[in-house]
Every structure is written in structure tokens, then in C-alpha cells.
Amino acid sequence: MSIGEGKKIILAHLDLGIGGAEQLVVQVAKVLKESGHMVRILTTHHDVNHCFEETTPAGYLGRYVEVYGDWLPRKIFGRFHAFFAIMRMLYLAFVIVWLYRDWADVVVLDGVSAPIPILKYFGGLKILFYCHFPDLLLCTDRSNPFKKMYRIVVDGIEEYTTGLSDMILVNSKFTASIVGDTFPRVAKNHNIQILYPSVKPLQQECLLSKEESIRIAPYCAHYDHIFVSLNRFERKKRIEVAIDAMHFYNHNSILSKPKKVVLIIAGGYDKHVTENVQYLEELQLFCKQYSLKSLYLPQSENQSLANKRNETSFDVIFRTSISSKERTALFTIATGLLYTPDREHFGIVPLEAMQLGLPVIAVNSGGPMETIKHKLTGYLCSQTGEEFASCMLDLTSDENSRERMRSEGKKWVNEMFSEQQMKHNLNCYVNEVAI
């Protein structure tokens, strides 16, 4: 097969739900398919009611998704998540070897590197491994002696198997530096490549007017300024910083603030995930401690009831698992996005916001340092409510600056983070690995 011909590519991913890693898998699959490659997406779990629209049965990629090993446990007594993630992915690797060894040219694997030896030595397959972030660094609680020993084994497996990849991709220069520092032997033997996630081109039919946006998100109708926080309901996202910022904003801008300002906290939420449920409750309690009036408006909320509740003004409104259209509506009518994670590996949400002309306030660390131009497309500041609130006040009080940021943000994203740029780079990497 010549380098220019389409390849047969398998994307193997642990859980095809909703999140940054899953969004990247969808992007990669879509870009590869549009480039003329044949694609299959293999996963151990795919809930069609909790996934990106492209992977639903009626979606663009729906018929290419295959699920194997969903019967395997994810944890025991709330523990050993990493162990069972490895077990599920090892099972998936054996499925790939058994069913697709003679079909696939390249396997694109992400997140969990443990299956790589099986795929290489039993299947003779070429491996392109996308490292979102070393799992070694994501597990910070090692106080228990048993867990410490358990993690030594898991971490050792991660470093050894990552080093067996034919090529390693990462999502940012920040992540590349972290991988190099964490796995120096891997970095010594690999030229780690950067593949920025992209944002898909905005189609005319996807653009919404302010009136249409309010119709989709009626709970925003009576506010002068709207700030949005969009993340999964996980503690590492530090969403409480946004609530903290809302408190300081109200406190510090009594004379100059508009009549009605609201913070919309939205994002991926699974009632079966304990942390999601607990963290939402913690955030609601956090609002009470600050005497902020909050409303939880689940996606299933009856529209007429939502309109009725809208008669009351709130400081914070919680929305869970919103649709892509509602996400676009919020970005269209908002004044700014509050992006609160620290040392975020990349962060696709700020790009999506800036593409729609929404200025971003983010923590001055990690991926956002590469994606946000300070005071041109948004603000980079420390992870404190006071600094976030100061930037919020700038956005609400200076309309000219806000409009400049809207224009510059759109231009910046279209130039640097387009699907076309990702398509070119990814095809080069795939063709290089497939030789």
C-alpha cells in the first residue's frame, strides 16, 4: 500500500461518553474518515443516551462504533478504577487481535497504554498512542501503603507500555513537557509530536441569533450579563472558583454592576457517577454559604416550569448534560466564559467559546496559556475568585474591549485550531506510522 492511499484504522477507547478525551476521539475519527481512511471505533462502554451526537446510532460515526467487554466491572467497592480500566482495555486488545489483526493498518489508542504489548506482539499492529496526560500524575492520593504499592505497579506498566508505541502524540506543548519530565526514558527514545484538538467549522445553520438562543435557553432571558462555566461535574475542574468569583463580583461592583448578572454552571453529568452527584451537591451548598441564590434546572425540566421559575432572579443556575445546541446558545448570548481548571492539559471549551466570539477568563497555566491570548481573546489570571471577578468586571464595564476580544477570538481560532490544520497533521502522522 502506498503512503497516499487510505488506511484501515481502529480507534480504541475505554469509555465513549462525554468529555474532552471522548471529544478528541470523535474529532480524530471524523477527520480520518473525511480524509478517505476506513475507520472503526472500539470501546468497552457506549451509552447512546450519554455520548456525543456523532456516535449515536443516527450520528455520523454511529455505525462504526463497536462495544466489547461492557460486562467487565469498572471497580470493586469504589476502588481499583485504574486496575479495571487496564483489564477492560486488555480485553479489548485481545478482541482487536482476534478480529482485526489482518484488517487494521494502524491502531490509534488513547488514555490507557497497557494494551500496547498485546497489540504489537500478538497482533503485529502499528500503534499511535495519544497521551492526554500521564495517569501517574492524576493519582495524587498515595497515603495508603497498599495503594502506594499498587500504584507503583500501575505506574511502571504505564511507563513501559507507553514506550512501546510507534509514535506518541500529545495535545499541547505543556503536556509534551510533562510527559518528558515524567517519563524521561520514553522521551529519550521518542520524538513526541503535538496534535492540537480542533474545533469544527461553524456552519451557517449552526449559528444562532440572540432571539433563537434565548428561546433555547429561556432561563437566561432577563439578565443583562451572563457568565458561563462549562465543565464536567468533577472536583478537579475547581468549579467552586467560578462561584467564588460570582460572590466577589457582587461584592466589589455594587455601584457599577448591571441590574442582573447570572452565572450558568453547565456540563457533563451522570447520575450513576458518585463524584458527579456529590460535587453538584457541594457546589449548591457553596452557593448557600455565600448567600447566592441558586437554581438547579436539570435537562429534563419541563419548559413551562422553567419559564415560570424564570420570574425570579438567581445568582447561579445549574444545568446538567446540555445539548450541543444549548451549548451554542449559551456561548452566543454570554458575556464571558469562566474556565477554572488549573494546569489543564489542553481545554477544548475555550476554543469553542472563542470561535463563537466569547471572551474567556482562564487560569494562567497549562493548555490555556497556548490557546488564549491575554487581553486579546480573553484573560489569564490566578485561580482565585478575586482575580476572576476583576476580569468579569472588566468585561461587563468595557463594551469596546469586549467587542475587540470577540473579533480577535474568532480570527485566532480559525487560523490556529481549524479542522483543516488537524487533518493535515494527523494524516502525516498516520501515514508515517503505517509505513
The predicted-structure confidence for 366-389, as pLDDT tens digits, reads as follows 999 999 999 999 999 999 999 999
Give 220: exposed, middle or buried? Use CB within 10 Å, 0-12, 13-18, 19+. Answer: buried
**Which of 85, 98, 88, 93 lies closest to 118 in space, CA to CA?**
93
| Beta strand residue intervals within 217-359, DSSP E | 225-230, 261-267, 294-296, 316-320, 336-339
pLDDT at 99: 96
Q: Please tell me the CATH code under which domain 204-416 is placed.
A: 3.40.50.2000
pLDDT at 20: 79
Q: Say if residues 9 and 430 touch (Cβ distance below 8 Å).
A: yes
Looking at the chain, the domain(s) classified CATH 3.40.50.2000 span 8-198+418-434, 204-416
**pLDDT higher than threshold 90 for residue 156:** no
Q: What is the DSSP string of 177-222?
A: HHHHHH-HHHHHH---EE----BPPPPGGG---HHHHHHHSGGGTT
Q: Please provide the average confidence, as pLDDT, over all residues in the chain.
A: 89
| Beta strand residue intervals within 373-423, DSSP E | 378-381
Lowest mean pLDDT among 56-65, 200-209, 299-308, 402-411: 299-308
**pLDDT (tens digit, 9 = 90+) per residue, 391-425?**
999 999 999 999 999 999 999 998 889 888 899 99
Percent above pLDDT 90 for the chain? 66
Taking residues 12-29, what's their average pLDDT?
A: 91
Whether the full predicted model's pTM is greater than 0.95, yes or no, is no
**Residues 6 or more apart whose Cβ sits within 8 Å of residue 80:** 150
pLDDT at 435: 82
Taking residues 317-346, what's their average pLDDT?
A: 93
pLDDT classification of 161: cutoffs 50, 70, 90 = very high
pLDDT at 39: 97
Q: Which three cell numbers stand for residue 56?
A: 449515536
pLDDT at 252: 76
Taking residues 281-307, what's their average pLDDT?
A: 82
**pLDDT higher than threshold 50 for residue 126:** yes
CA 95 vs CA 166, 220, 334, 392: distances in Å: 20, 48, 46, 51
Q: Helices (DSSP H) in 6-80: which residue ranges?
A: 20-34
CA 1 vs CA 8, 397, 431: distances in Å: 11, 60, 11
**Which of 98, 94, 120 lies closest to 107 in space, CA to CA?**
120
Taking residues 198-221, what's their average pLDDT?
A: 84
Q: Say if residues 30 and 54 touch (Cβ distance below 8 Å).
A: yes
First to last CA, the chain: 9
Q: Which CATH class is domain 8-198+418-434?
A: alpha beta
pLDDT at 12: 97
**Which residue carries 484488517 as its cell?**
103
